[in-house]
Amino acid sequence: MASVAPGTPCWADLATPGLDAARRFYPELFGWTGRVDAEPEAGGYTVFLLGGQAVAGVGPPAVPDQVPIWSTYVATDDADLVAGRVERAGGQVVVPPFEVFDRGRMAVFSDPAGAAFSVWQPMAFAGAEVFDVPGAMSWTELVTPDPDGARIFYELVFGWQPEEEPMGQVAYTGWRLGDRVVAGMMPPLGDEFPADSPAYWTVYFSVADADATAARAAELGGTILVPPRDIPAGRIAALRDPNGALFSLIALT
């Protein structure tokens, strides 16, 4: 089973009250198939597959009034250790570490600016089995009004080293772990993301054609939040699904 190194984003899943709608929308958009967890306690949690390989998941919200949200999971070999680091660095333990059947151990945190993220300590399930191909997760990015605070926080929690990346007029930061840049960070931009927006993590899915996929998402009931545009890494767009969950696309150059 494929796995990624600790400190690297390894999984993404969607919590949504529109579980049935999500099971229709994303397979139509990305060519996924769904595998529903047979455990009654899983609440219909579904692993999306691309060519038989796990790429993402969807399940019901943890609480009834939770807004639909895609969550980024960072791999770890000790979820409890990460929880301690989060608290010492000024973050919040939203859901303490717990076991998900025999699959793994997870926890949910928020950074000092309020951006939620999760960790995954694998047991029987390692996370996504394929990355960076059309239909698979390709990138995760923190959008925050407090980049300076985030640089300190995530270095303390995951050992990430911030590196400034060239991206036109945008102050973009790459998070380096060893010899890889594993995630990114940028401040809110323009009218699409007002300066007082709360911090959040967004997930990018790779596509062959960002314009065609964005148009297809709109046909399926989604919303184009930021129309396709070019960046040095490729062509990107930001969307909302029919229930309002934010996600992004990237056609890699």
pLDDT block averages, 10 residues each, the chain of length 253: 82 96 98 93 94 97 88 97 98 97 96 97 96 97 95 98 82 94 88 66 98 98 96 94 97 93
| Number of domains, the chain | 2
- Alpha-helix residue ranges (DSSP H) falling in 103-198: 147-158
Residues 12 and 92 in one domain: yes
In the prediction, which pLDDT does 197 show?
A: 65
Residues 113 and 147 in one domain: no
Question: Which one of 122, 152, 170 terminates a domain?
Answer: 122
Residue 121 pairs in a beta bridge with: 105
Question: Which one of 65, 97, 122 terminates a domain?
Answer: 122
Q: What angle do CA 112, 115, 119 make, to 5 degrees?
A: 100
Question: Which one of 122, 146, 178 terminates a domain?
Answer: 122
Does 127 reside within a domain?
A: no
Does 100 reside within a domain?
A: yes
- Alpha-helix residue ranges (DSSP H) falling in 59-209: 79-88, 147-158
In the prediction, which pLDDT does 65 show?
A: 84
Q: One-letter amino acid identity for 172?
A: Y
Write out the two tokens for 20: 């049935």
- 186, 172 Cβ separation under 8 angstroms: yes
Structural domain that includes position 155: 136-252
Question: Which residue shows structure tokens 């899915």?
Answer: 205
Residues 147 and 209 in one domain: yes
Phi, psi at residue 93, to the nearest 5°? -85, 105
Residues 94 and 163 in one domain: no
Residues 98 and 151 in one domain: no
Q: Which H or E run contains 21?
A: helix 19-30
Listed residue (140, 210, 215) closest to 181, CA to CA = 140
Question: Which residue shows structure tokens 């089995």?
Answer: 129
Does 43 reside within a domain?
A: yes
Report the first-to-last Cα separation within the chain, whole angstroms.
28
CATH number at residue 60: 3.10.180.10
Does 68 reside within a domain?
A: yes
Does 142 reside within a domain?
A: yes
Residues 164 and 142 in one domain: yes
Alpha-carbon dihedral sign for residues 195, 200, 201, 207: negative
Does 129 reside within a domain?
A: no
Residues 174 and 106 in one domain: no
116: helix, strand or coil: strand
Does 131 reside within a domain?
A: no
Residues 39 and 105 in one domain: yes
Does 229 reside within a domain?
A: yes
CA distance 191 to 78: 40
In the prediction, which pLDDT does 1 show?
A: 39
**Residue 187 Cα distances to 72, 73, 142, angstroms:** 18, 21, 8
Residue 196 pairs in a beta bridge with: none
Residues 142 and 105 in one domain: no
Residues 190 and 221 in one domain: yes
Residue 246 pairs in a beta bridge with: 240
Residues 113 and 140 in one domain: no
Residues 87 and 143 in one domain: no
